[in-house]
């Protein structure tokens, strides 16, 4: 297994640790969750960069990287709902978008086409990670202004919806 795929695997393995730390829901566990989440987010940045730079793009990596992203975001946002930091509806929108785009990619693959990540998908992941960091920080570590955290949640929802739209609008697949 090459370095980028190891980084994606590490990100997957960090998800239950982050969730566990969030469930403890203390100041020290929130700080630890923030550190581990930041590490996971960095693996997302560097696995793709390293793979492109060293020509290590593999079929496994094309599956593992987006799977790791989905598990990280959905896992953490589910934990936020469970501990009462977030309402259910943003999580449902995130999950629905991920399932829809994954389904679209499966249909495209069945028709011999690949739908690569686009700028809106990458933006969506970045905004989701920033929002997750803000929700880990607030209020256990540092109380952020309500308008900031609420604004980030709304931005996350809007970018999540729009990014999903861009994939469907740009897909050349036969839905029949």
Please check whether residue 75 lies inside any domain of the structure. yes
Question: Is 54 inside any structural domain?
Answer: yes
Number of domain units in the chain: 1
Q: pTM for the whole thing? A: 0.93
Q: How confident is the model at residue 52 (pLDDT cuts 50, 70, 90)?
A: confident
3-state secondary structure of 86: coil
Average pLDDT on 57-84 reads 93
Helix (H, G, I), strand (E, B) or coil at 131: helix
Q: Tell me how far apart the alpha carbons of residues 127 and 145 are, in angstroms, rounded to a whole number.
A: 18
Q: What is the pLDDT of residues 86-107, one digit of tens each?
A: 999 999 999 999 999 999 988 9
Structure tokens at 7: 């980084």
What span, in angstroms and rounded, lies between the C-alpha atoms of 1 and 56?
10
pLDDT at res. 95: 98
Distance CA 33, CA 17 (A): 8
Read off the CATH number of the domain in which 128 is found.
Answer: 1.20.120.1760
47 domain-assigned: yes
Q: What residue spans of 25-87 are helical by DSSP H?
A: 27-53, 59-82
Domain that holds residue 134: 3-170
- Taking each continuous run of H as one helix and of E as one strand, the counts in the chain are 6, 0
175 falls within a domain = no
Distances (CA, A) of 112 to 39, 68, 148, 164: 36, 24, 43, 21
Over range 41-66, report the average pLDDT.
88
Average pLDDT score over the chain: 94
Residue 176 lies in a domain: no
pLDDT at 50 over 80: yes
């Amino acid at each position: 297994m090459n370095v980028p795929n190891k980084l994606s695997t590490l990100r997957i393995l960090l998800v239950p640790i982050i969730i566990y730390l969030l469930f403890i829901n203390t100041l020290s566990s929130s700080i630890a969750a923030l550190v581990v989440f930041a590490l996971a987010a960095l693996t997302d940045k560097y696995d793709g960069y390293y793979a492109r730079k060293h020509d290590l793009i593999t079929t496994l990596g094309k599956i593992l990287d987006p799977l790791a992203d989905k598990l990280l975001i959905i896992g953490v946002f589910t934990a936020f709902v469970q501990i009462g930091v977030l309402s259910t509806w943003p999580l449902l929108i995130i999950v629905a978008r991920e399932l829809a785009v994954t389904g679209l990619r499966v249909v495209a693959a069945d028709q011999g086409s690949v739908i690569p990540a686009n700028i809106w998908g990458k933006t969506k992941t970045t905004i989701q990670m920033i929002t997750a960091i803000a929700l880990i920080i607030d209020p256990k570590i540092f109380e952020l202004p309500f308008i900031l955290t609420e604004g980030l949640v709304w931005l996350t929802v809007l970018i999540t919806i729009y990014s999903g739209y861009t994939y469907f609008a740009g897909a050349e697949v036969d839905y029949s």
